Amino acid sequence: MRTLITGGAGFIGSHLCERFLEMGHEVIAVDNFLTGTPENIAHLLGHPRFKIIGHDISYPLKIPVKIDNVLHFASPASPSDYLELPIQTLKVGSLGTHNTLGIAKAHNARYLLASTSEVYGDPLEHPQKETYWGNVNPIGVRGVYDEAKRFAESMTMAYHRVHNLNTHIVRIFNTYGERMRLNDGRALPNFMCQALRNQPITVYGDGSQTRSFCYISDLVEGIVRLLFTDFHEPVNLGNPEEISILQFAEEIRQLAGSSSPIVFQPLPQDDPRVRRPDITRARQLLGWQPCVPRQEGLKRTLEYFKRKLALMDQSQQSSLSSTSPSNVSSLSAMS
């Protein structure tokens, strides 16, 4: 099989590239590196069944070889990203979804859309079932992401109904793990970087808002299972174990052995008060549920962040030494 993955150099996309290669697929990753990084797929570049195309999927893309599966994971996904890139976020959710559905239609391929728990907005139903229509502010600052994904779901279902395309929609709840960016802006990277540097850990609001964190390998397993079903309506994938943001910050501080104080900042506009998936549909349809305990997943992720921060510190020290007075003097003497 040959599988196309947009956003293939991103956090989740790069893990999907690995998984489909392990399954024996040829993998074509598409990424414009707006928020994805070449580092995430550097270890795959020599693989004989892997190819990366640098392209913004908001613009049409022709694939000259037969494609069996299309997974659309391209989009800024962190609030800090889509607040900075609102128009790009709207375009990749609308035009990008249209273009990838067109590729799937042209190749009669399976199609899977990466949607999000953000379609539920600040939910009035708890936990959130797939049948819940959500509580979204369409003109708020977060609306560019929420509404882009809601439109993408509607477009995907239209292609299924009108063109009989074999489509699937996964609503992804908070996911974490290796290859998250240090400057991602979401709670976990912020907390881990701050804790490892013994800097103040920033909690927004009073920290009573809740989230449910799912480790990346569990999410990838659910996505693969969903792709190869004949089910077309949205499916929640996430860990139903709920925790408050303040408890989460304290958990990470303790795990890191950090002396960081916790400080509080104003809550961002439209920040959801609660978030927990009802995964009954995933359990029944896919036989899926999370397997990695949060403590284990956090340990793995913390080790990754330690390595990344150590490499960053080494790079900064190297840059400083290369511009030290002695080096500047010797360069001047040579010029």
> Could you list the active site residues?
145
Nearest to 8 by CA among 306, 21, 79, 247: 21
Nearest to 212 by CA among 262, 274, 302: 274
Label residue 335 exposed, middle or buried (CB < 10 Å: 0-12, 13-18, 19+). Answer: exposed
Type of residue at 147: E
Q: Which two tokens stand for residue 233?
A: 């309506």
Strands 201-204 and 175-176: unpaired
| Tally of residues, the chain | 335
Residue with tokens 């707006």: 34
Rounded to the nearest angstrom, the gap between the alpha carbon of residue 49 and the centroid of all alpha carbons in its chain is: 24
Q: How far is CA 153 from CA 18, 78, 144, 245, 308, in A?
A: 26, 19, 14, 29, 35
Tell me the three state secondary structure of residue 322.
helix
* 8 A C-beta contact, residue 36 and residue 104: no
